Amino acid sequence: MAQGFSLKDQLFNAEKTRYLAGLFADADPSFDAGAFEARVMSRLLELELKERMAWIAKCLQHAVPGDLPDVAPVILNALPPPLDPDKTDDDFGDFIFAPLGDWVVSVGLDHPELALDVIEELTQRFSMEWAIRPFLNRHPDQVMERMDRWCGHDSYHVRRLVSEGTRPRLPWGQAIGLGLNDPLPLLDRLHGDKTRYVTRSVANHLNDITKKDPELVLNQLQTWQKQDLQHRDELDWMTAHTLRGLVKSGHPQAMKMLGYDPDAEVAVDVQVNGAPRIGDALEFSVDLTGASGQPVLVDYIIHFQRPGGKTTAKVHKLKQAVLKDGQLSLTKRHKLKADATTFKLVPGAHRLEVQVNGKVCAGVDFELLG
């Protein structure tokens, strides 16, 4: 049977370990590349992705012992050239350098200024948003002061670290003690950035905040619209990306900010074609009728049956459009995977609803067959 794709094996493997070992052997003649490779590979394949990062960091610390003042020169000498400064997006870096951030955290928390110097270099090879967070918790004033300087850094990777590293809900990231308002002066400086890599991070940061304080985010976006420091098309994109969570939940002010009237009178008819089976697809059609020229943002919500009789609602995008001649007809084929690893489908009664400009306008029950 064919093996499924393994991200952990693509990112951390014998070839990547050998590459890292070669960099450190070139930087430090006393570095035993063979012993390092053997130690890493003795456990690597039994570990999950984040565990592999921590294990490689531990092996590096064993191979080059000492506190950060002792090992920082070796780390910096081992680094390859920075990532291409001419790109503006989709250049996260090589995951094999992520363990270096863990290493700096392990030996550098008592040396914050030097650690921040090293992280500034590391993040230009691989994003260091996970590594910066322990320093934010231990030395918040020093880190925030450095981040203020980083907002003007020549490398967009360093500028992005400011926004990404201070996100309230960073995936995989350690929780931090900053208040939601604390990073806003930094985001004020970054929202006008000319690189999508940075502005996407700013939007993701604000989207995190919407989970706790939507009004804070809406006010911030309105302020930026008045400041006019970002190109209008990019700020519109940032606004939509920021508000995506609020849009799914039907937040009226978010809808209005994006140009959709939550009180628009739109009639909706939805029809499910037959009884779908797990492993096949849910096929349905939607017909909308309203004022000609009315902008509509159409989502569909599937209420999935769960074990024990509970249901889970999942919102999906369907269409952003204008009601030309007052009408719009849509069709959709939603795959119902039988082998999904993150969400197991259960046969039984389900419900499909259509949401227009944040309001549920129509719904239909259907039976999902096993």
Give φ, ψ of 52 to 5 degrees. -65, -40
Domain ranges of the chain: 66-213, 267-368
Both structure tokens of 272: 């499910």
SS3 string, 214-259, reads: HHHHHHHHHHHHHHCCCCHHHHHHHHHHHCHHHHHCCCHHHHHHCC
Indicate the pairing of strand 327-335 with strand 348-356: unpaired
Per-residue pLDDT of 11-26, as tens digits, reads: 999 999 999 999 999 9
Task: Kindly state the average pLDDT of the residues 237-262.
Answer: 94
Class of 267-368 in CATH: mainly beta
Q: What is the pLDDT of residue 151?
A: 98
Both structure tokens of 360: 């549920």
Both structure tokens of 6: 């393994």
Q: Which residue has the tokens 């999902």?
A: 368
Q: What is the pLDDT of residue 278?
A: 92
CB 276 within 8 A of CB 240: no
pTM equals 0.87
Q: Which of 81-90, 113-122, 256-265, 349-358 has the lowest mean pLDDT?
A: 81-90
Please tell me the distance from the alpha carbon of residue 347 to that of residue 343, in angstroms, as a whole number.
13
- Residue from 68, 143, 60, 130 nearest 104 by CA: 68
SS3 string, 113-180, reads: HHHHHHHHHHCCCECCHHHHHHHHHHCHHHHHHHHHHHCCCCCHHHHHHHHHHCCCCCCCCCCCCCCC
Q: What is the pLDDT of residue 2?
A: 39
Q: What is the pLDDT of residue 306?
A: 83
Tell me yes or no: is domain 66-213 CATH 1.25.40: yes
CB 128 within 8 A of CB 57: no
- Residue from 7, 93, 16, 92 nearest 59 by CA: 16
Task: Kindly state the average pLDDT of the residues 197-219.
Answer: 97
Task: Kindly state the average pLDDT of the residues 85-99.
Answer: 85
Task: Kindly state the average pLDDT of the residues 77-91.
Answer: 86
